Amino acid sequence: MANLADPKNTIEILNKYHIIFQKKYGQNFLIDEHVIRKILNAAGISKEDTVLEIGPGIGTLTQYLCESAGKVIAVEIDRNLVPILENDTLAAYDNVRIINDDVMKIDLKALIDTENGGKPIKVAANLPYYITTPIVMSLLEARLPIENITVMVQKEVAARMQAKPGTPDYGALSLAVQYYSEPYIAANVPVNCFMPRPGVDSAVIRMQLYKDPSVSVRDEKLMFATIRASFNQRRKTLLNGICNSSELSFSKEQVTNAIREAGLPENVRGETLSLEQFALLSDNLKNADSNNI
């Protein structure tokens, strides 16, 4: 069995199976063992763990996961890669299950129940960049039994996920990720660590999920609608952003009062508010007793 972290072995496998990179699946295969070790270390993977890998590709990261974890569930959308995984690159491992499906369409709760008795799993992946945010948010919002999510993403997306209030990268994604988890950038990854090389640099980010969300709020849906409204028009004040939102139906007076009751100036911009302040603001809006969404 060839170690796919060696570029020569990756090229050999690609040539053997006449693999053409599928742009629609965002296929960029990892070829750097140092980066793979960073992913394993950040996730803290041990033989006690069951790991869900999203998009194993030809099995580069999967080989190392199989060596480190007790069990690996690898979900691959590209049916052309499944025979390579089953018959070649992962054939030596008896602790991996390969599923040919779209992770966005799978009942992951049922899968975790079946494969791990409902106990918390860990997620590891070199995610396709075109669908990074939908995958991450679906994992977080589903409240699945997941201990942590350690993924390779576009560098600027990782920066947005862990950004703090008042910084250029701070936005709705920062607040959503930090509501459910504590993000930590474990490594920055240059383009030469992949085949083919992507057009942007990457980063490994670990999201350690909270048992309960990081702040208490009366209405999550309202809070996130308020957050989206405040960042849809970054140059506008928070007051104008909320009043102009198609998702919300508060009067200017109600919004003004809610902002004031949160101890904020009337001309404040949403990009300066912390998650705690957004929670307080949405609770104040909830108190306005309006059909707000």
pLDDT at 270: 95
Q: Mutual orientation of helices 172-180 and 132-141 as an angle, nearest 10°?
A: 40
List b or e across 227-262, with b for residues whose CB sees 16 or more CB atoms inside 10 angstroms: bbbbbbeeebbbbbbbbebeebebeeebbebbbeeb
Q: What are the tens digits of pLDDT across the range 13-52?
A: 988 988 776 656 567 889 899 999 999 999 999 999 999 9
Quick one: tokens of 121? 């799993």
Q: What is the DSSP letter of 198?
A: P
The answer to whether residue 289 scores a pLDDT higher than 80 is: no
Confidence of residue 113 (pLDDT cuts 50, 70, 90): very high
For the stretch 45-80, pLDDT in tens is 999 999 999 999 999 999 999 999 999 999 999 999
Q: What is the per-residue pLDDT across 225-278, written as a single tens digit (0 to 9) for each?
A: 999 999 987 778 999 999 999 999 999 999 999 999 999 999 999 999 999 999
Q: Is the pLDDT of residue 108 over 70?
A: yes
Domains with residue ranges and CATH for the chain:
7-209 (3.40.50.150), 220-287 (1.10.8.100)
Residue that the structure tokens 């929670």 belong to: 279
Q: How far apart are CA 135 and CA 123, in angstroms?
A: 11
Task: Give tens-digit pLDDT for 122-178.
Answer: 999 998 888 999 999 999 999 999 999 999 999 999 999 999 999 999 999 999 999
Sign of the CA dihedral running 118, 65, 101, 28: positive
